[in-house]
A and B are shown apart, each in its own frame.
Chain A
Amino acid sequence: MRVRIRVRYNAPHMRRFDYFAPTSVEEAVSLLQERGDGARLLAGGTDLLVQMKEAGVHPSAVVSLHAVDELRGISDESDGGLRIGARTLMNDVAAHETVRGAYTALAEGAGVLGSTQTRNMATIGGNIANAAPSADTAPPLAVFDAEAEIAGPGGTRTLPVIELFSGPGSTTLETAEVITAFRLPAVPDHTGSAYQRHTPRKTMDIATVGVSVKLTLADDGSIGDAAICLGAVAPTVIRAGEAERALAGETPSDELFASAGELAQAAASPISDVRGSAEFRRYLIGVMTRRCLGIALERAQA
């Protein structure tokens, strides 16, 4: 068989593009609207630049958000919740006192991503918009039922974070929409959360499996509410609904958590890739969900 083939070879240099650095969300949205589908939004760059160098992503225009100050920062909400600007750096999320105290799983997710350097560049909005099934902040945001604030040509809207994802690398965002912030609802008393991931190396790696759990205990010590979200084991991060329901109202125990782990395994549809086989991933979900529940329980009881 004769084949005519053109090779796109991994290149350290990016192709040419037009560059824009708007100073407001409004300006960013209108630039995206003008440039259409060829335009890409640049937040921290740790995913986009790698894709532009090695994954054949060649945008005709890059709209950088680095000069849009309104997208940065973490603030308390009047309802007791927290608002995190989309361009907040991972290291700032991981170090924030309220995030560490009330939204521990999110601090853990933001804190394990990449290296010091990555966390000084990568943003929480970028991590979500990039929509990798292995994104370390996605399962934590999902277990806290976080909502994304989205600005677009037609105004603003909000959407639960979990509904943003439509597949590996793809979102339900419309053309020219920009994630501006995440709103995390207030966390009830006696709540504990955790994010655990498996990586081949201790750090500088991407999750083979990620699990986030949030447990809220009732006054009698039973589980009032449970949320479990799995990363890197399906085309998007997924909630393990059956496992969550099986926990609600029950008294925490090793057996209960083990069976929740089994239900979580059933929810997943992992693939085999360079970081591990589907079988290995499915196996890990059971162990890690059980362990993650144990950690969250300890924190809820503290």
Chain B
Amino acid sequence: MTTYTTVGKPIPRVEGTHKVTGNSTYAADVQLPGMLHCKLLRSPYAHAKIVSIDTTKAAAHAGVERIVTADDLPEFEARYMSNRAYNLLAGEEVVFHGQPVAAVLATDATAAEEALELIDAVYEELPAVFDPLDAMRDDAPPARAPVGEIDRSESKGHVTVEVEEEQSDKPSNVVSQTKFSRGDVEAGFAESDVVVERTWRSAMMHQGYIEPHATVASYDPISEELTIWTATQGQFFVRDQISRMLRIPETKIRVIGTELGGGFGGKIFLTQSLAAVLTRITSRPVKLVFSRSDDLVGANPAGQCVVDLKTGMKNDGTVTALQTKVIYNSGAYPGAPVVIGAILIGGYYKFPNLEIEACEVLTNKVSVGAIRAPGAHNVTLAIESQMDMMARELERDPLDVRMQNAVEAGDEMPSKAVYSSIGLKECLKAVQDSEIWRDRNERPATPGKRRGVGIAVGGWLGGLQPAGAHVELNGDGTLNVIVGSNDITGTNTSFAQIVAEELAVPLDMVNVVTGDTKTAPFAGMSAGSKTLFTVGRAVKAAAEDVRSQLLGVAAERLQAKVEELEWKDGVISVGGDAEKSIKFRQLAGITTGFGAQYPPVIGRGAISARQQAPGFTAQVAEVEVDEETGEVTLLRWGIAQDAGFAINPLSVAGQMQGGATQGMGIALWEEMLHDEGGRLINDGLLDYRMPTALDVPNIETYIVEVPSEDGPYGARGVGEPSIIPGAAAVGNAIEDAIGVRVAEAPFTPERILRAMGKI
């Protein structure tokens, strides 16, 4: 096994101390002279025709500089209008409650908010539909005017799949569907000893980043340059989209991805285009910062999902057949993760027969965006619950049946793509060895409560996107690394480790900086668990380039052949001869000093990633259930995840714990609730409940390393898998505790009591 000096070590973040001293700049911290504050008037209806908007009174309000409605906006080609991003302000029709219809620009935020109340908007209500099953009925009202071709440029950043959705021909709220089949499901069920059939529901939930959406945009009419400071996971994506929408050359757009207060798939492209348009209209800087309520009502949460699932198993634990219909509610614009859901639900186990149908349905709810592993937790709740139910029915160990049927390298996914090396079985093994699982039948429950342990697995295929990186040798022998990927949780530290490793220098000689879109080499979105997987490879290639350039200079200087050179501790020598050696620092001098003979050392790394490295996880949850109140307490949690190779185990563990906790939120608390008019009724963080420190236990992490074929040092994406199986694991643990199955997440006390027949 290769031994490394820097990669593979738990390294605290190197990019300095600014995040613990309050000195990081997030988008809402940006203040510019003459800046206008933007507040949005949002639709009170889920579906209505806009009859008129009278802004006269509001425009006259003290402090208000300008009010903008759809009439003032540039016109876009009809084919783009299926994309939420192009619908900056509603023109003729509002299609979800909270959709922006007017933007007020004022010298301070209070004045802007006061003016919102003075806008006179007249609507004519239209029939609305909210539940996806209702929306699929033949007599359902259309959620909105028919969409054209579906623009999926954003969702491809999260996962790369080679399957295209079919679009419906006839006008329908069902905008796309995907089907996969294998073998003969009827025959499969016929030979089964147990068949379980259930409907599983999971709620619309929010990514829950603590920093609401924020953008500051500034347009200089003289240079025609547009500068955007924004909270985004993908600054190049923002630049490209704005260039395309507003027909501005990319050379005139500078997107500065500020420090990002969490994204989880929800912060890609939402406020930037409107802010850009508004600064162009006013020629003054515009600040658009969402309130928490704005963000819950009008951002792009993760959609609700209904899964009908039928599965079969033989007495010996072998799975036989899987038949399913997966329905994603995508809200008022298309964009639900249909294909990935369809792949994953049949992609964990070797079902010889399967029939999968998945579709996305438009309704008059806010349109959905990505989330950590979009679509995955919904389908995993279904399949991982039923694996447990079948095992229980056959009195088999739930972990053994998973191990017995788990997919391996070479197995086909439902889409017929073939898995490369994967570590699902290794993750299961790690959970099997955990104390939580081993003593699952031994720990006594608190008096009056029942204790249970559950497991579940999850997997994510990962996104692919090309990426570039520069590594430059500074005059003092230190190194600057420039990337274009937005560092949310520590990827820049891992890049520093890679460069330190490749060039055999101490970590503190490497400085990584995320440039903006005018200065940095291209990178894809920090999404889809691919930043380290793709940009990391580019960084490694750039470091290798630096290495070969330095060797070239050293060879010439030492009058030796490159092959004769030894590279050790920052010294390059001919066969280890101290007399014939040159220090790294000297090399830096002769490539940057006055009259230097050699050109500066600038390493270039540019890669295109073609092969995904799916990441799997297995998790174990120990819960206690109060049978009288339905309350569930999470006692212990263990997560095993295949990181391929953990370049920085400290940050890998952090990713695992964070995602697992979001999974716990999905399991027990998180649900966006709407009234009969489609209005969100929990639009604050009191009633949209994310877990607090008291709601979750310490999380044990078991890092599994099954090297990927393509990732740097064998690494694979680690961001996403951790969120996936939480709800299923908790549901399985609840059944283990009280013998009752709840088929709708979150598993609230009320739902548990109803399932128990107590209310």
Contacts and interface: CB of A to CB of B under 8 A. Distances in A.
Interface string A201-219: 1111110000000000000
21 contacts: A3-B123, A5-B44, A5-B122, A7-B42, A7-B44, A9-B41, A9-B293, A10-B297, A10-B683, A10-B684, A11-B39, A15-B114, A198-B629, A198-B749, A201-B689, A201-B694, A206-B686, A276-B750, A280-B759, A283-B758, A283-B759
Given A1-B124, A2-B51, 4 more contacts: A6-B117, A9-B293, A13-B110, A283-B759
Most chain-B CB neighbours within 10 Å: which of A1, A12, A275, A288?
Answer: A12
B307 interface: no
Nearest to B448: A291
B134 interface: no
A13 B116 contact: no
Given A198-B749, A205-B689, A4 B120 contact: yes
Contact of A10 (B44, B291, B633, B753): B291
A204 B110 contact: no
Contacts of B683: 10
A280 B122 contact: no
A274 interface: yes
Most chain-B CB neighbours within 10 Å: which of A9, A277, A279?
Answer: A9
B684 A54 contact: yes
Contacts of B694: 201-203
Interface string B36-54: 0001011110000001000
A196 to B, nearest CB: 10
Interface in B666-684: 669, 673, 681-684
Contacts of A276: 750
A275 to B, nearest CB: 7
Given A13-B110, A200-B749, A274-B682, A54 B293 contact: yes
Nearest to B685: A204
A116 B673 CA distance: 28
Contacts of B292: 12
A205 B684 CA distance: 12
Contacts of B631: 198
B687 interface: yes
4 tightest Cβ-Cβ pairs between the two chains A and B: A10-B293, A202-B694, A12-B291, A11-B113
A288 B673 CA distance: 26
Interface in B639-686: 669, 673, 681-684, 686
A66 to B, nearest CB: 23
A7 B124 CA distance: 15
A2 B749 contact: no
B122 A3 contact: yes
A288 B51 CA distance: 52
B536 to A, nearest CB: 37
Contacts of A198: 629, 631, 749
Contacts of B394: none
A284 interface: yes
B121 interface: yes
Nearest to A15: B114
A5 B679 CA distance: 15
B270 interface: no
Contacts of B682: 274
A287 interface: yes
Contacts of A5: 44, 121-123
B625 interface: no
A12 B110 CA distance: 9
Contact of A201 (B39, B109, B669): B669
B687 A274 contact: yes
Contacts of B758: 283
A277 B630 CA distance: 14
Contacts of B633: 202
B120 A6 contact: yes
B477 interface: no
Nearest to A16: B110
A15 B264 CA distance: 34
B691 A1 contact: no
A15 B110 contact: yes
Most chain-A CB neighbours within 10 Å: which of B114, B117, B125, B691?
Answer: B117
Interface of A: 1-16, 54, 198, 200-206, 274-277, 279-280, 283-284, 287-288
A202 B110 contact: no
A267 B673 CA distance: 29
A203 B749 contact: no
Contacts of A7: 41-44, 116-117, 121
Nearest to A206: B686
B692 interface: yes
B706 to A, nearest CB: 37
B397 interface: no
Interface string B737-759: 00000000000111001000011
A2 B51 CA distance: 8
Contacts of A275: 687
Contacts of B109: 12-13
Nearest to A202: B694
Contacts of B750: 276-277, 280
B692 A204 contact: yes
Contacts of B628: 287
Contacts of A1: 124-125
A249 to B, nearest CB: 28
Contacts of B691: 201
A212 to B, nearest CB: 17
Nearest to B51: A2
A206 B292 CA distance: 19
Interface string B290-325: 011110010000000000000000000000000000
B749 to A, nearest CB: 7
A203 B292 CA distance: 20
A287 B121 contact: no
Nearest to A5: B44
B556 interface: no
Nearest to A209: B629
B291 A11 contact: yes
Nearest to A1: B125
B695 interface: yes
A246 B124 CA distance: 57
Given A13-B109, A15-B110, A201-B689, A3 B669 contact: no
A150 to B, nearest CB: 30
B753 A2 contact: no
A9 B42 contact: yes
A277 B749 CA distance: 11
A16 B686 CA distance: 25
B673 A274 contact: yes
Contacts of B43: 7
Nearest to B111: A13
A4 B758 CA distance: 45
Contacts of A205: 686, 689
A300 B689 CA distance: 36
Contact of A287 (B42, B629, B673, B687): B629
Interface in B433-488: none
B289 to A, nearest CB: 9
Contacts of A201: 669, 689, 691-692, 694-695
A274 B669 CA distance: 12
Nearest to B628: A287
Contacts of B294: 10
A283 B292 CA distance: 33
A277 B750 CA distance: 8
A203 B692 contact: yes
A3 B125 contact: yes
Contacts of A287: 628-629
A11 B109 CA distance: 10
Given A6-B120, A7-B44, A283-B758, A13 B113 contact: yes
A288 B753 CA distance: 15
Most chain-A CB neighbours within 10 Å: which of B122, B628, B682?
Answer: B628
A143 B104 CA distance: 51
Given A4-B120, A280-B759, A283-B758, A200 B293 contact: no
